[in-house]
Amino acid sequence: MRFSVMTLFPEMIESSMNSSITGRALENNLISLDVYNIRDYSLDKHKKVDDYPYGGGAGMLMFPQPIYDCYKAIEERINAGDSSGKKPRVIYLSPKGKIFNQAMAKELSQEDDLIFLCGHYEGIDQRVLDTIVTDEVSIGDYVLTGGELPALVMMDTISRLVPGVLNNEESSQDESHSAGLLEYPQYTRPAEWMGKKVPDVLVSGNHALIAKWRMEQSLEVTKKNRPDMFEKYINSQQG
């Protein structure tokens, strides 16, 4: 998996991706990351990337030229190492997009290349979006100051689905959202802490009972926190 990111804040992307599990995955060449500063592609003598919107309104819009030239540079670089001629997906992060979820992450993790376009200010001229973007994606119903955090959220989620990125393959099997239910509670030592004991069943050694208890707990937490998911799960079991 090779991520290419178009941004005005490359250090935001680099510092986060170079940390923790994604950092280790980059070091081990399980994923790779190329970050492009859109401003470097501006032909304006002051390296301007934004302008006033036609028709008036608040704020500034990023204009097409630097974004398109940046995209062409990425496309050329990808095509140099890949003769398939397949067009890579270009994901534009925007509160207007389709909502990101685990199923989308799984689907995107099958790609060889993903390009992320991070907008700033009030947005991006629609013509360049219409020309290069294949997927417009939102990470939730709230508005951030730019696309960098959403791109990081997506790359983090996708990276951990790439084989070898998590050292224990099991750990992405049983977790929240993978089977349409939220994960059951987990406990480690000590067996008693601040007067609270670990549930007896977990120390019983009876694996069938443990599995049953975990399923019940998953159903309970899903019903309480995510009634929408719970209903969908119950319907899928009856179908």
SS (H, E, C) the chain: CEEEEEECCHHHHHHHHCCHHHHHHHHCCCCEEEEEEHHHHCCCCCCCCEECCCCCCCCCEECHHHHHHHHHHHHHHHHHHCCCCCCCEEEEEEEEEEECCHHHHHHHCCCCEEEEECCCCCCECHHHHHHHCCEEEECCCCCCCCCHHHHHHHHHHHHCCCCCCCCCHHHHCCCCCCCCCCCCCCCCCCCEECCEECCHHHHCCCHHHHHHHHHHHHHHHHHHHCHHHHHHHHHHHHC
Of 70 and 152, CB closest to ligand ADE: 152
147 part of the interface to ligand ADE, by CB under 6 A: yes
Of 10 and 147, CB closest to ligand ADE: 147
Q: Which of 59, 140, 190, 199 binds ligand ADE (CB under 6 A)?
A: 140
94 part of the interface to ligand ADE, by CB under 6 A: yes
* Candidates 72-80, 87-95, 166-174, 185-193; binding stretch for ligand ADE (CB under 6 A): 87-95
Q: Which of 25, 93, 133, 181 binds ligand ADE (CB under 6 A)?
A: 93
Of 107 and 169, CB closest to ligand ADE: 107
Q: Which of 1, 108, 114, 139 binds ligand ADE (CB under 6 A)?
A: 139
219 part of the interface to ligand ADE, by CB under 6 A: no
Q: Which of 144, 162, 166, 234 binds ligand ADE (CB under 6 A)?
A: 144
Q: Which of 43, 58, 143, 208 binds ligand ADE (CB under 6 A)?
A: 143
Point out which residues bind ligand ADE (CB under 6 A).
93-95, 138-140, 142-144, 147, 150
